[in-house]
């Protein structure tokens, strides 16, 4: 099994940061998440393990004393890890209304990237995205990678209020704002679905490693789904991924 050279860094009294080569890469990302599961199921004194694109944050339940020993234990664990049977992963289909009233930045992207509005929407819908992490806001999914034709930097001047449900892009990432928030990503559309349910043990429907694709809905369908979501009647379409 292919192993990477990992770097260990004591972040504070209780936290250790493990870093992989710094790049967005499906192989590295899968390795990060596999090692997360290995650590969670085999090492003691650990409160929580958080994953990102190419790093893990390991939070211990007491102060880190002997950093060298912890490092070598973790590295042995890493080198001796075996292929895990994969946990169930899903492909989620998310409805998005790309109509003008929601697509706040589509004209700007069109002008910047010299691409028609229709082609922007088609390009955004055509890709299947990986869920890399949940961060920034409760339930904000970082999805990648966006087609190069849509690659656009974050806004220089962030918006003070990006509306809840906004589907937006920045660099080669796309994401959905789970609540009203200031934000610098370029907004393409809006989804009526709920991204975060504080009453559930698993408050987000998707988890890192899952996939997401978008499909286009009209404003009328948006209003209908919005009502269904409100009454708990809307079910997101999901398919089990076999690979």
Q: Binder to other proteins among 4, 37, 52, 238 (CB under 8 A)? A: 52
| Spatial separation of the C-alpha atoms in residues 89 and 34, rounded to whole Å | 13
Helices and strands, counts by H and E, the chain: 5, 14
β-pairing, 90-96 with 211-216? parallel
Residue 76 contacts other proteins per CB under 8 A:
no
Distances (CA, A) of 113 to 44, 148, 150, 189, 241: 51, 10, 7, 17, 33
Residue number, 98 or 132, with CB nearest to other proteins: 132
45 binds other proteins, rule: CB under 8 A: no
Q: Between β-strands 166-170 and 186-190, what pairing exists: parallel, antiparallel or unpaired?
A: antiparallel
C-alpha closest to that of 178 among 167, 188, 170, 169: 167
11 binds other proteins (CB under 8 A): yes
Instruction: Tell me which DSSP letter residue 150 carries.
Output: G
Least distance from other proteins to the Cβ atom of residue 201, Å = 10
- CB of residue 28 to other proteins, shortest distance in Å: 10
CA-CA distance, 98 to 118, in Å (whole number)? 10
CB neighbours (10 Å) of residue 235? 8
* Helix, strand, or coil (residue 48): strand
Choice from 43, 57, 115, 241 touching other proteins (CB under 8 A): 57
**Interface characters, 172-201, with other proteins (x: CB under 8 A):** ------xx----------------x-x---
- Note whether 61 binds other proteins by CB under 8 A: no
Least Å from the CB of residue 116 to other proteins:
30
Residue 145 binds other proteins, judged by CB under 8 A: no
**Footprint on residues 85-144 left by other proteins (CB under 8 A):** 132-140, 142
Site string for other proteins, 19-38 (x = CB under 8 A): x--xxx--------------
The closest of 128, 134, 147 to 53, measured between CA atoms, is: 134
| 215 forms part of the interface with other proteins (CB under 8 A) | no
Q: Is 230 in the site for other proteins (CB under 8 A)?
A: no
H or E element at residue 236 = none
Q: Does 77 bind other proteins (CB under 8 A)?
A: no
Which residues are at the interface with other proteins (CB under 8 A)?
Answer: 9-13, 15, 17, 19, 22-24, 47-48, 50-55, 57, 132-140, 142, 178-179, 196, 198, 203-204
């Amino acid at each position: 099994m292919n192993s990477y050279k990992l770097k260990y860094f004591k972040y504070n009294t209780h936290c250790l940061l493990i870093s992989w080569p710094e790049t967005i890469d499906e192989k590295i990302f899968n390795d990060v998440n596999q090692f997360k599961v290995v650590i969670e199921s085999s090492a003691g004194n650990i409160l929580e393990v958080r994953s990102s694109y190419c790093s893990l944050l390991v939070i211990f339940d007491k102060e880190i004393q002997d950093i060298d020993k912890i490092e070598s234990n973790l590295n042995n664990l890493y080198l001796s890890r075996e292929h895990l049977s994969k946990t169930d992963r899903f492909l989620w289909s998310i409805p998005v209304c790309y109509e003008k009233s929601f697509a706040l930045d589509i004209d700007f992207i069109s002008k910047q990237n010299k691409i028609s509005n229709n082609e922007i929407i088609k390009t955004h819908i055509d890709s299947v995205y990986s869920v890399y992490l949940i961060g920034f806001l409760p339930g904000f999914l970082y999805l990648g990678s966006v087609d190069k034709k849509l690659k656009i930097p974050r806004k220089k001047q962030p918006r003070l209020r990006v509306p809840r449900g906004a589907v937006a892009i920045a660099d080669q990432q796309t994401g959905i704002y789970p609540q009203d928030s200031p934000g610098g990503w370029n907004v393409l559309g809006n989804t009526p679905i709920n991204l975060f349910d504080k009453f559930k043990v698993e408050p987000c429907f998707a988890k890192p490693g899952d996939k997401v694709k978008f499909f286009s809905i009209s404003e009328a369908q948006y209003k209908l789904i919005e009502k269904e979501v409100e009454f708990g009647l809307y079910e997101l379409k999901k398919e089990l991924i076999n690979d």
